[in-house]
Structure 1
């Protein structure tokens, strides 16, 4: 077909819009149909399609050209290319940025390393060669994020395995300020990355220690251990001791190694936290075999040299030394703390890097304390001597408290680990005294008391013991509970079996050891002191006797007497009494008081004790005066008279608690008979020794024996009646002129006698002319002694009377 033939087909479509000049030049290469979209289809074409094409043409300002048809044909491939490029870019972004982060997070969370064994193959010059066995696997279930888990599983499934070359890794400890623990050379390894697949690792690594200087204050805690053996004995050289210790612990890790012999320094803290540690011993260990997940045993041998002054010297502003503080914790059952550091003088076979590590690390070691309960087996106190308080001492002066002296014998158990020589030289203590678990008082011995000790080896299963003897001198005893003290006194006075006083004390002990003299402070000790009660009827065996009597003061109503008294102490205890005052009672009425000063009471008979008594019955009122008058009259007449001694609230001034307890007790004694001149042994003393009657002159004289050795008694008035056969009157004497009764024997002046003429008694006297007979006498006399005056009655029996004719 020619060009001309084909052109009308195109020109007819264009002529409706423009001229021929507007048409493009026909080209041979121009396709007949530029696009399927530009030509209506022949199959299924509808009038609507034709109309549409037409409408499109009518909107065009120019007829469709070959260029526009070509441009439309190229638009879809471009879109496809751009889409592919976009997908590639997105994939690159995901693979370059998203997947690595997800894979890293997946690896961190899914990786599981289970060490199965760690053993030291050998120790090298700069480290150790370790054999490491472990299981490695990735466990995707440990990853929390679902997207990360999917990406990680997909990535590791594709990768399958991961291989590493020989590498050097550094190991840090995050919990300890990222300290470099060490570095290790790891050989090439291949691990499986498939989820759940376990790779068994077994390789040898060279390990070198890390930052030694950063370890001392950041060392992890040592495992719990038990001390299975602990023995201390004297060393081969003077001033040394040897310690032999065995330790056991559990290795909770799959680690196996052999630890060579090591040397350490054992230290205790100084006075203050910032003070340097004090070296007290040097120790070394034997070779230790550590096996995985099993018990470990270690033997430690220590040498204690002479203790340094810094250990035993008291800290500033304190009475305790570092050694005191350490021992106090130990003996009270509290864990004391020791510090261990590698020796600055290690054994030559110890690798330098090990020595450097050990010398730079200080490890606190809790040293389990040991309570000393039950340490005291026996505790006894003999030859007890009590000293009552000085009433004139200052309240803060120890002399213001009662004191106790005596011999202490203590048997103390020695811990089995203490196999060294020990000698107790001095003791002092603060102790509580209890009765039936109730505190009675405090016994404080603040001054050092000399002591000595003897080691006694045990028999059979009994361990060794230490017998300690000491004489305590005047230890202050402060009574803190008067009720408990009263119970003790009552049990001693009226009980029939020994009582036990419990003693709980903190004792300071000076001991001599091969290391020198040590002071153990506040050693807890306890024991029982058996106290025997007074023998039954002991009060009645006191047997007071008055040897001499003198007046030292007098008033119209009172008289103060001083006497030398002999008493028997029936108890095994002795006492020194600086001052004590008691009230004197009779028939429930106070008659006066008695005082002793500076009296030393020993066991058995005590002679010439100075006792001062003030007789003042007027304190009891008119009734008291009558009771006092009758008591003296009974005494002078030879009757059995008794008086009650009762402590009061001021018996010992300055001791209200002690006095309150003592005031609950009293003791009644027979008034001691006076020893008069001319008394025959066993004869009852009589104030009127004998009488002489003069029949013709109707007078009588009497021989008087005064109990006073230094004072003269005056009789101002006498009204007396003589009786025969106890009832028959002989005569009456009425005399109102004063006469004296000086010390010793004396005779009265001739006293007028008014005979009872015609009575049986008168006849008896007349018949006894020139001979003797026994008469009784009843009299009322007014006596005067100094300024004191009293009207007394007297009844004498069996008075030997001689009858004269004159």
Structure 2
């Protein structure tokens, strides 16, 4: 018996089926003859040059039905023979049974795990639009649009893939009836989160066919508490994964065949990284201003660009939210700062959204501005510090209030008490301080009796601080700074030098400077700081600063990094902002002093030994008086005039400096409670202790004798002043560092005492005689005596000459000699000695010159060894005097 397969193979061409229907019996006879000529080499199934069978037109017939029609046609030939189908009925019956079995197997497959596996893996739905059509009394009406297709290539098992393609090719379309889909959360007590009412949907389930779907669904929320719990866990980052279970009774049919109602229950687990996150946003505009419409406080206008990557379209009604910030501790309740509102929003699929927000802060709560326990900052300080330092600050949005009365009650109940943290991107202020300067600077040296390394032992500074603070352009409201304090670190060459601690509130005032040109607005803050301590942290670095000040050719630049606290008056009221990070630079100018210290020929400051010549500072000493003596020492007191060419002033409660001559310590100068101001400083009271023996032994005593001898003889002598580790007892390191910079100055000239005045020169005599201890002499030839006029440099102390061995010369020729062992007094000012006996050098040139000058004057010089006494102190010195005017009498 011929197999039908041979006929399928020979007749499965695109044109065979239409031709058989038109040609009738003769055509079928021809094909029967053609079939009878089929040989063993004829393929069982002819391969056609066509696309996949799933792409055939709906009017095409299967090979089985085509073969059956052919067989029936051949059996109805016009010959009078018995129809072929009556002879071959066993084969026809088998074919029909086979077709029925295939259909039953397909329908059974659709209800088995195999087709479920195929459907789960091959089904592909791409949403293109999800829009909120309207709000209803119980939920929302949404429109869903998308594209559905079956993609068999996604099915992993080949057997499931092949059988699924065949079954869906047979079924072609599946239509579901209206369905309620309930969604549960098993991990949250199987709470019902919502129900979706979905209308009937018809889709083409053949492989590769795409069906455009558009339908409206009604969504009704379930348990509000359950939804809020999930939302809070997701917002707080505690939602590592979530299991969602959907359950629905779905009526299905394929064509006219009703498959019945299928109970579908499916669970899916979404990991945290697969869950949607808050959309990205960017603040494009921020304007802070005073509140409008009669409201108090401050307002804010914010424009935010929100990235919308979702195919969602909806209309969001006007929303009002509360804005909150963190408290002192994470466990504390959030602190409400103000409110914010948005207008009605139109959200379009995958289109970025511009959201305009209007905020208002009427008054800052006390809990926001009060200092936290065990801290120096308030919650507001922490928030502003993060923002101004460029770090993300966090604010919280407590949702939601709906001003529109038409908003359904379910929306109000669902969204209330949901708090969403919003990272508020900080703004690195960069050079927030445009200018930082100090004026009227006054340095305070520490109390000499303070304990080292204590705040009282630190030098202090008083000054007027002027800070020009650049304001962000979005700050458009009244701001007045009335108090300021700071904890500042001072840097030199990027290294920390010192710390300036303004721990007490200082009075301040501020002036807003409006923007002009390319310059933005700024706030000029001025504050008088009083006695702020400066703690030196790096002694070696401080030594570099001192060298740069004294020997450098440029101003010294100091960097300041400070945590500033300010008390401000704003539309929200008065409050303090603490620990605001700021940076600035201030410059120490010592150019006038350096110019004064420079040598006349323009050489580097200081001599070969490192000491500095400060004669151009115009130091003047006057009103010398001795206030104490011992066997080896004299304590002197004097008034000094000095010019300070810098713009800085200083208070010196105690200062002790060594007096040196040829690197030998001969005494000390002590200053107490001295105030040095810019410009001329007069009548500065200083004390000097002259004690060479105590400081340097017998060698020091010899150096001291030589200096005193040169001094009273009118020689140009100089003294070196050098600090030491006891200069400032509470700051020994500071004195030791400054000892590397000794200062040399000329000894004050002897003069008739008078009180120094500004601009006075104590040595403005007609000639150099005003610099001599012996001003003039009177010679008596007959009595062989001489009387000398002496100039004492002291104002209140009487000097005693205990012995005298002197020789008078005329042009290097001896004229006479005086030996006198009786002490006599030299009171303050000008005085005359008693008649001193003279042993004339008879016959000498000098004596003859004196006789010739009888009744007139001549110039004599004198060499003498003199013993002097002041109180308990005694000293033997020498004197060399030239050009002494001598009056000659009988």
TM tier relative to shorter chain? 0.7 to 0.9
Give the distance between the partners of 1:639 and 1:700, measured in 2 at CA: 25
In the other structure, the counterpart of 2:64 is none
Equivalence for 2:689? 614
**Residues 112-123 of structure 1 mapped to structure 2, 5 A cutoff:** 112-123=124-135
Q: Report the counterpart of residue 13 of structure 1 in structure 2.
A: none
What's 2:783 paired with?
697
Question: Structure 2: how far apart are the matches of 1:287 and 1:664?
Answer: 76
8 Å contact kept, 2:400–2:417: no
CA contact (8 A) 2:317 2:402 kept: no
CA 1:637–1:773 in 2, change beyond 3 Å: closer, same or farther? same
User: Compared with structure 1, are the counterparts of its residues 96 and 200 closer, same or farther at alpha carbon in structure 2 (3 Å cutoff)?
Assistant: closer
1:599 to 670, 674, 699: 674
**3-state SS in 1 of match to 2:116:** helix
Q: Distance in 2 between matches of 1:388 and 1:713?
A: 36
Q: Counterparts of 1:539-550 in structure 2 under 5 Å?
A: 539-550=614-625
Give the distance between the partners of 2:735 and 2:532, measured in 1 at CA. Answer: 19
Question: Distance in 1 between the 2:680 and 2:191 partners?
Answer: 85
Cα offset, 1:385, TM superposition: 0.8
Match of 2:794 among 692, 700, 708: 708
Matched-pair contact (CA < 8 Å) for 1:481–1:657: no
CA drift of 1:737 comes to 2.3
Counterpart check, 1:687 vs 2:773: yes
Is residue 235 of structure 1 aligned with residue 291 of structure 2? yes
Structural mapping, 1:405-416, within 5 Å: 405-416=462-473
Q: 2:201 matched to 1:142? A: no
| DSSP 3-state at the match of 2:543 | helix
Distance across 2 between alignment mates of 1:628 and 1:189: 119
The secondary structure found in structure 2 opposite 1:467 is: strand
Matches within 5 A, 1:553-702: 553-618=628-693, 619-677=695-753, 681-682=764-765, 684-702=770-788
- Partner Cα distance (2:471, 2:581) in 1: 14
Residue 172 of structure 1, CA deviation? 5.0
1:239 to partner: Cα distance: 3.4
State how far apart, in whole Å, the 2-side matches of 1:484 and 1:100 are: 86
Counterpart of 2:496 (choices 429, 439, 444) is 439
- Match of 1:217, SS state, is helix
CA drift at 1:302: 0.8
Distance 1:226 1:657, change over 3 A: farther
Partner of 1:786: 871
Residue 476 (structure 2) aligns with: 419
Tell me, yes or no, if structure 1 residue 223 matches structure 2 residue 279: yes
Q: Deviations over 1:515-561 (max 9, x none)?
A: 11122222222222232224212432322222223334433333332
Tell me the secondary structure at the aligned position of residue 218 of structure 1: helix
Return the offset for 1:454: 1.1
Identify the match of residue 429 of structure 1 among 461, 486, 510. 486
What is the rounded CA distance, in whole Å, between the counterparts of 2:351 and 2:404 in structure 1? Answer: 28
1:439-471 Cα offsets, whole Å, 9 max, x none, are 332222111111111111122232212111122
> Is residue 2:216 matched to residue 1:204?
yes
Separation in 1, partners of 2:515, 2:467: 16
Give me the whole-angstrom Cα distance separating, in 2, the residues matched to 1:673 and 1:481: 42
Shift in Å at residue 702 of structure 1? 1.9
The alignment yields a C-alpha RMSD, in angstroms, of 2.7
Residue equivalent to 2:881: 796
Q: Does 2:413 align with 1:356?
A: yes
Deviates more, 1:169-178 or 1:392-401: 169-178
Secondary structure of the equivalent of 2:225? coil
* Residue aligned with 2:523, SS: strand
Q: Distance in 2 between matches of 1:475 and 1:178?
A: 67
Conserved? CA contact 2:195–2:222, under 8 Å: yes
1:181 is displaced (CA, Å) by 4.5
Tell me how far 1:397 sits from its aligned partner.
4.3
Looking at structure 2, the residues matched to 453 and 546 of structure 1 have their Cα atoms a distance apart, in angstroms, of: 46
Counterpart among 425, 437, 442 of residue 368 in structure 1 = 425
Residue 668 of structure 1 deviates from its aligned partner by: 0.8
Given that 2:712 and 2:750 are in contact with CA atoms closer than 8 Å, whether structure 1 keeps it comes out as no
Matched residue SS, 1:105: helix
1:769 matches 2:854: yes
8 Å contact 1:584–1:593 — kept in the other structure?
yes
TM norm structure 1:
0.83
How far residue 721 of structure 1 moved from its aligned partner, in angstroms, is 1.0
SS at match of 1:732: strand
Cα distance between partner residues in 1 of 2:129 and 2:468: 55
Partner of 2:181: 169
Partner of residue 467 from structure 1, selected from 520, 524, 528: 524
* CA deviation map 1:619-647 (0-9, x unaligned): 33444332221111111111111111111
Does structure 2 retain, via aligned residues, the 8 Å contact 1:401–1:655? yes
Q: What is the Cα deviation at residue 602 of structure 1?
A: 1.3
Report what 1:537 is aligned to: 596
Matched pairs, number: 714
Q: In the alignment, which residue of structure 2 is the partner of 1:45? A: none
| Pairing 1:132–2:144 present | yes
Give the 3-state SS of the residue equivalent to 1:213 in structure 2. helix
Deviation at 1:344, TM superposition (A): 5.0
Residue 345 of structure 1, CA deviation: 6.9
Q: Aligned partners of 2:555, 2:841: CA distance in 1, in Å? A: 65
SS in 1 for 2:466: strand
> Aligned in 2, Cα 1:135/1:147: closer, same or farther, shift over 3 Å?
same
Q: Which runs of 5+ in 1 are unaligned?
A: 1-90
Deviation of the 1:228 alpha carbon: 0.4
Q: Which of 476, 479, 486 lines up with 2:543 in the alignment?
A: 486
1:90-138 Cα deviation digits (max 9, x unpaired): x999999997233333333333221111111122232221110122233
Aligned equivalents of 1:285 and 1:219: distance in 2?
Answer: 24
- Alpha-carbon distance, 1:271 to partner: 1.9
Partner of 2:36: none
Change (3 A) 1:599 1:391: same
1:758 to 823, 843, 868: 843
Which deviates more from structure 2 when the two are superposed, residues 248-257 or residues 602-611?
Answer: 602-611
Quote the Cα distance in structure 2 between the aligned partners of 1:120 and 1:792.
114
Q: Give me the whole-angstrom Cα distance separating, in 2, the residues matched to 1:534 and 1:557.
A: 42
Give the one of 303, 306, 313 matched to 2:360. 303
**Could you tell me which of 363, 376, 383 is aligned with 1:319?**
376
- Larger Cα-atom Rg: 1
Moved more, 341-350 or 763-772: 341-350
SS at match of 2:696: helix
Instruction: Choose which of 487, 496, 505 in structure 2 pairs with 1:448.
Output: 505
The change in CA–CA distance for 1:175 and 1:247 in structure 2 (over 3 A counts) is farther
Kept in 2: contact 1:480–1:657 (CA 8 A)? no
| Distance (whole Å) between structure 2 residues aligned to residue 621 and residue 243 of structure 1 | 80
Q: Report if the CA contact (8 A) 1:495-1:533 is conserved.
A: no
Aligned mates of 1:349, 1:315 — CA distance in 2? 44
Quickly say closer, same or farther: Cα 1:487–1:397, change in 2 above 3 A: closer
Taking the aligned partners of 1:206 and 1:230, their CA distance within structure 2 comes to 39
What are structure 2's unaligned runs of at least 5 residues?
A: 1-102, 236-276, 598-613, 755-761
Deviations 1:23-58 (A, max 9, x none): xxxxxxxxxxxxxxxxxxxxxxxxxxxxxxxxxxxx
